[in-house]
Each structure stands twice: as C-alpha cells, then as structure tokens.
Amino acid sequence: MTLAADLTPREAKPNGAVLPSRGLGDRVSAVFWRHPNVLLVTLLALPLLWLVVVYLGSLAALLLQSFYSIDEFSGMIRREFTLSTYAELLRPANMDIIIRTVSMSAAVTLGAVIIAFPIAYFAARYARGHWKALFYLGVMLPLWSSYLVKVYAWKLILAREGIITWVTDGIGASAVLNGILALPVIGGSSLSTSYIGTWLVFLYVWLPYMILPMQASLERVPQSMLEASADLGASRWQTLRTVIFPLALPGIIAGSIFTFSLTMGDYIIPQIVGSSRRFIGQAVYQLQGTAGNIPLAAAFAVVPIVIMLIYLTIARRKGAFDAL
C-alpha cells in the first residue's frame, strides 16, 4: 500500500476490496441497501398507521354518522343507513345557515384580497433587507399567534363602550357609525353584534393566509416585466390591471382557498362577535353538543368539505397549486 508508505508507517491491516461487517447496525443497513423499499416501509409504517387509522378512520366515521339518523322519541342514534339526515339539511332554516356561511366566506375572501394586495405588493416589490424581514415577520407573527387572543382583542375593540365608539365620538363621527349600524341585515345594535363585526374579525384573523401566497406569486413576477409594460406606455393602473393582477392570480386563488375554507369551518368568531344567527360551524357544534344530534352535525360538517372540493377543482384548473 503505497499511501501508507508515503505517510506514517502503520501496522499492517487487511486491505481487501471488502471490509468486514461490524455487527447488527451494518447488517440492518445492508438489508436497507439491498431492499430500499424495506427502509421506506419502516419509515412510513408508524406515521401512516396513525394518519390512516386515526384521521382517515375519523373522516370515515363522520361520513358514516351523516348517514345515520336520530330517533325522535328516544333521542338515540339509529345506526341504519338513511338519507333522511341529509334531507333535513334542505329545510329552509338549515339552508339559510349554509347560504349565510358561504356568503360570509365570499365577503371575507373579497375583503382579504383588497387589503392583502398592497401589503403583498409592497413586500414583494419594494421591501429590501431589514424591511423585507420586518414585513415577513409582521405577517408571520399574527398568522401563528394565538387565535383566541386575536378574537378576544376584537371583542374589546368592537364592544359598544370600546375603542371604536370612543374614537368615533372623539372625532364627531358617531352619526356615521350609527348610520352604518342602522343598515338593514348587516347592521345591529353595536359592531360586536352585527355582521360587519363578524366580517371584520374574520378578515383580521385570516388576512395573513392571503398575504403570504399572494406575496409568493408576486415575487415571481420579474421586475423587467413591469418595466417593459411601463416602457410600452402603460399607466400604473394599466400595468396593475393587465400585467400584475393576472400574474398574481394563482397566489390570490391559493390564498382564497385558505380564507374561504377557514371562514366556513369557524364557529368561535360568530359565537363571540356577531348576531345570534348561526353559521355552519355553530350548527355543527351545537348539534353535536347540547342537541346531541351527531348525525345531523356530521351531515352539516360534510357541507364545507363538498364546497371546498368544488372550489379546489376550479382552483386546480387555474394553476393555483403552484403558489402553495
């Protein structure tokens, strides 16, 4: 062995083409090497078992429950296949709940697009260095920080005796506030008991979910493309409408998946801030709890799944998943 001679002399060691195996670790590794699928199965077995049994099992249970019904006399769950529980969803009172929830989800999504756009555009195009980090952190921290605390903060803000009333009184705009609250349907006795209040809180809580994907897709718009548009004589507004917006669209759709789905499934915000009229989430929560009607609660929970599946199918066609 010339290398050894070249450097320090060392005691002779067997130096064949193959080194000896050194116990169990080597033997198991050899099995992984010969059969890579064994390694894959070993790694995936535990997590897959968990996700399939606990999660998919539960989803199956949800579906199963939705085809059961409740015995009107005993209040017990009748474990026989029936479509009558789904038929109950079609009752006007329940349809109202579904329509109300979907409308709110759409309104929240629209509001989020409008408020998120300047933030995302500024962060993607103009923010550099420390500002970039600040914007990123500024969006990410509210995204991750406590949901309940955020909702609670808005309860304080929107309360009749709270800061908004104080501000509007202070600047002499209480007539405007009262005018808004007097509006039919979306108004109410105070912001915290009106649809406007519910909408604001939803908007606040889910806004970061719109900003992040929007920013990601805007960052993929090359600077040169904007300049090309300006060079061709487009005004800012034209550039925005014909170049930036279409390019940001996949990000907007990706964000809207979050805002739409999260709004549809929430039951805490409308319970704390809003009128007494129920949303799907509240219906599910009350039916499974106080009312003890698990089958109808399950059927209600299937509604957002179906709506989201339709939404996702459309979004996929628009190429929104690249921005996720």
**Using the rule CB under 8 A, which residue among 38, 153, 225, 310 binds other proteins?**
153
User: Is residue 171 involved in binding other proteins (CB under 8 A)?
Assistant: no
**Using the rule CB under 8 A, which residue among 38, 59, 232, 310 binds other proteins?**
59
Smallest distance from other proteins to CB 241, Å? 14
Using alpha carbons only, give the angle 107, 266, 281 rounded to the nearest 5 degrees.
Answer: 105
User: Is residue 148 involved in binding other proteins (CB under 8 A)?
Assistant: yes
CA gap 103, 112 in Å, rounded = 14
**Using the rule CB under 8 A, which residue among 91, 96, 145, 232 binds other proteins?**
145
Smallest distance from other proteins to CB 59, Å? 5
User: Is residue 310 involved in binding other proteins (CB under 8 A)?
Assistant: no
User: Is residue 284 involved in binding other proteins (CB under 8 A)?
Assistant: yes
User: Is residue 311 involved in binding other proteins (CB under 8 A)?
Assistant: no
CA gap 212, 231 in Å, rounded = 29
Query: Which region, left, alpha or beta, applies to residue 75 given φ > 0 means left and ψ of -120 to 50 means alpha?
Result: left
CA gap 286, 297 in Å, rounded = 8
Q: Which of residues 252-281 bind other proteins (CB under 8 A)?
A: 258, 261-262, 264-268, 271-272, 280-281
**Using the rule CB under 8 A, which residue among 98, 111, 154, 278 binds other proteins?**
154
User: Is residue 122 involved in binding other proteins (CB under 8 A)?
Assistant: yes
Contact 266, 150 (CB under 8 A): no
Smallest distance from other proteins to CB 129, Å? 12
Contact 163, 191 (CB under 8 A): no
Residue 124 or 185: the one with the smaller Cβ distance to other proteins is 124
Residue 39 or 107: the one with the smaller Cβ distance to other proteins is 39
**Using the rule CB under 8 A, which residue among 38, 64, 232, 310 binds other proteins?**
64
Smallest distance from other proteins to CB 93, Å? 19
For 58, counting Cβ atoms within 10 Å of its Cβ (0-12 exposed, 13-18 middle, 19+ buried), the class is: exposed
User: Is residue 306 involved in binding other proteins (CB under 8 A)?
Assistant: no
Buried b or exposed e, range 145-157, using 16+ CB within 10 angstroms: eeeeeebeebeeb
Q: What residues have CB less than 8 Å from 67, skipping those under 6 apart? A: 81, 82, 83, 85, 86, 295
Torsion, Cα of 8, 12, 13, 15 (10° steps): 90
User: Is residue 80 involved in binding other proteins (CB under 8 A)?
Assistant: no
